[in-house]
Structure formats: C-alpha cells, structure tokens
Amino acid sequence: MWALCLAALLIISITHWVYRWRNPRCHGKLPPGSMGLPLLGETLQFFTPNTSSDIPPFIKKRMKRYGPIFRTNLVGRPVIISTDPDLNYFVFQQEGNLFQSWYPDTFTEIFGKQNVGSLHGVMYKYLKNMVLHLFGPESLKKMIPEVEQAALSRLQQWSCQDITELKDATASMIFDLTAKKLISYDSNKSSENLRENFVAFIQGLISFPLDIPGTAYHKCLQGRKNAMRMLKNMLQERRAESQKQPVDFFDYVLEELKKEGTILTEGIALDLMFVLLFASFETTSLAITLAMKFLSDHPLVLKQLTEEHEMIIKQREIADSGLTWKEYKSMTFTFQFINETVRLANIVPGIFRKAVREINFKGYTIPAGWAVMVCPPAVHLNPAKYEDPVAFNPRRWEGVEVSSASKHFMAFGGGMRFCVGTDFTKVQMAVFLHCLVTKYRWEAIKGGDIVRTPGLQFPNGFHVKIMEKDTRNRKQHYIAADA
C-alpha cells in the first residue's frame, strides 16, 4: 500500500514538474513557443548545422509557426528568440538598463568567466577604451601598410601553390597579422604553434557540452587551456624583461596592470587577449572567403570593384606607392560590397542578452532573468526590407550610410556593445580586395580542380579552393565579435 502511494506521489510530482517545465510561470503573457524536452529543451534542434545561406531552419520553422517572437529552452535555460526588428533594436538600446550581456554557461566556460562579453558597467567601458587604443582610427591609419604588405605576401605565396584552401589560408594570414600587433607573435620563430590551439578551440566551439576525451567540446577546452598557458607564459616573460618602450598591445596591457589602483586583473587581461585573438581572425577570414566566392559568382561585380581600385592607382603620382588612408576612405563601391558580404555571411547568427527585470513588449512579457537571443540572419534576410534577400547585390547599399547598427543591419552587433573591431575588419577586407584586383588578373571558373564548389583561377594556374563546409555551415562560427 505504501509503495503504491509513493509511486502515485512520484508520478504526480513528475507530471507536475513536466507541466511546469512546459508552462513556465509568468505574470503576463509569454511569447508562444515550446520549451522542448525537460532539462534538454530544444538544444539538439538548435545546434543542427545550417547548410544554406537562408535563415537557420530552427529559426525559420518557428517563425512560421509562432511569429517573429517566440520562446524556447536551450541547454536548460529559458530563452526568448527575437526576429523582430523593433524588439532587437529595443534590446540593444536598453542594455545596461533593462538588459545585460549574457551567454550560456558553456560559452562562458569556453571564453573565460572574466571575458569582455560577460563583464558589465565600469569594467566593460574600461576594457572597451583599451581595445579602442588598438583599433581606433589613428592606429588603423598606421596599420594600413602592414595589412597591405601581409596581403601581397600571402597572394604571392599562394600563387606558387597548386591548390589553396582559402578559408584556412586567410585565417592564417589574419591571425599572424593580428597576433603580431597584439603580442608580437611570430609563428616562424616560436617553438609552439599558437594558432593550432585556436583551430582546436573553434572546431568544438559549437558542440554538445560533453567534456570527455575524444569529444569536440573536450578538444575545444584543451585548445583554450593551451592557448591561455602560452599567453600567461608570455605575460610572465614580459614582466621579467627590463623596461622598454611599448611595441604592441601586450605592453600596453602590462602598463595598465602596473598602474596603482588599477581595476584590471591578470585574469581579465589574459581573457581579453584570448578573445581578441579569436574574434579578429576567425570572423574576418570567413568574410573574406565568402567575398571571394561572391566575386567568382558575379563577374559584373568583380568588374566594378576592379575599376574602382584601378582608378585609385591611376590617380596616384607613383603607381606602386602604398595604399593611403585617404584612398581607403574613397572606396565607395568596396564598402557597399563589404556590407552586402557581411549581410549575407551572417557570421553571428545569435546575440544573447538577459532581462534584468520583467519587461512588457508588444503584448508579451519577458520575465526577469530570462535570456533573449537577437537573430541577425532573420533581420538581414527580411524580404520586407531587402528585395530578393538571398541575392547578392551590393548596389542595394547605394546612398546608405552604415556607421553603426540599425534595426535592419546588425552584422557587427549593436548598442553599447557594437563591435569595436568593426573598422579593423573593414580595413583588412578592403585592403585585401585592393591587392587582389590590382596586383593580379583573374577570372571566375567552375569545375576542374574545384569539385562541386566555385573557385578562382589566376593566370599562372593558381587555384583557390573555397571549402563548402566553411562557407555554408554557419553554426560553426557562432559567437564571433560581440565585445
């Protein structure tokens, strides 16, 4: 009898628990949606790779069923997903008041508990100003010759190879350039390969959080651990060196750590260096790879881009002189091309925030403590704003000034956390394109050595293989630069 009563009580408790899971308490009206399975939620469906250039299937299916604002549960956390431009803009504008930056615990574990994306208030503003010291306009002006030299050097190197995997090659180029500016790292002189650790980190970045040897997630954590060990050793070596003039961003960080009463800690400094190294090369290399694909698919766009850059050279007194800041700022069509590339790339398919207190918006209630995921792909591929949204058309940006995020364009985040590395990304893309179309003559091809994927062919037979898995699997590049 007692056993029967206990069994009945257990069944009632489990039933009640499942009901409460599927129907969370709320003082108002929650957005429609499903909370999925207990504990697991809809995590597995969410992490299903997107193999198209369209809105991720997880999002698109629920938009059709529930509308632009809906609820779900990811890795045990209730989440409101927004594809609504008004709510997205509201979230960004109210950061620090009604919302704050937030990412799932697994991402915090990967990027560090004190990474810039998880910090708020005074500390975040302090770190942002530090990063602007590196990526501000005055620093970028001085950086252009280095970016140009790096691009020319790699293009020459690739021209001697039969086949080059562009995503990996551009990631290597950008990582070496960024690591040099940040920590004076030279892969040719170092006994350890820092980039290999980031490759392992990225491959497991979006994976089921199972920390068991052999899993992608475990390799991701090991990649971070090894990279952080190398950064910490570098920090200790710098501290042991005699006083010298600052030569890179690491020296600048060390000077900040030495200041009396500084709020910067060694842990925060190392996490900052890690995030900057990751964000600066992974996202930009993907954007450049897609840019090359778009050029190969659209010869008229290539022709117009080439004409713009050839005109820059024609107007010089000395044709072979290096690119200047004034010339960079004059690249009108190039910037239209870059905007269209990052709009379709959707490198960051989700930006997370957390409601600080209960919020009412368009008849729905967002409970305090719930996460909100802003979905840029749904904004960038909205047919109400962009005619034929999945088509590549740089001309749609004619006369459109994009200096920060808006309701309809948020490729670099938005609000107070608008990516401070945005201009650095644009400089790298623009300078690379300048070197590509002015120093070499090439045409788009299909077939041959480029199996099932479009590629590029230079006159000397140099082929660039654009890997399909890198250009189409958006979920592999999830976090990116939301700092």
Q: Which residues are annotated as a binding site?
A: 419
Measured from the Cβ of residue 24, the count of other Cβ atoms closer than 10 Å reads: 13
Task: Select from 175, 172, 161 the least CA-distant residue to 464.
Answer: 161
* Cα 251 to Cα 239: distance, rounded to the nearest angstrom: 9
Task: Select from 348, 465, 345, 483 the least CA-distant residue to 424.
Answer: 483
In the annotated binding site for heme, the residues are 419
Strands in 163-165's sheet, in edge-to-edge order, are 163-165, 463-465, 450-457, 443-447
Backbone angles phi, psi at 419, to 5 degrees: -55, 120
CA quadruple 295, 296, 300, 305: dihedral positive or negative? positive
Tokens describing residue 212 = 């068991």
CA quadruple 417, 376, 182, 438: dihedral positive or negative? negative
Tokens describing residue 384 = 């109400």
Query: What is the pairing mode between strands 99-101 and 163-165?
Result: unpaired
* Cα 427 to Cα 165: distance, rounded to the nearest angstrom: 22
* Cα 253 to Cα 250: distance, rounded to the nearest angstrom: 5
Task: Select from 480, 209, 220, 208 the least CA-distant residue to 351.
Answer: 480
Task: Select from 150, 126, 98 the least CA-distant residue to 264.
Answer: 126
- With a CB cutoff of 8 Å and minimum separation 6, the contacts of 20 are none
Question: Quick one: residue 161, left, alpha or beta (phi over 0 = left, psi -120 to 50 = alpha)?
Answer: beta
Measured from the Cβ of residue 422, the count of other Cβ atoms closer than 10 Å reads: 19
* Cα 392 to Cα 399: distance, rounded to the nearest angstrom: 17
- With a CB cutoff of 8 Å and minimum separation 6, the contacts of 212 are 218
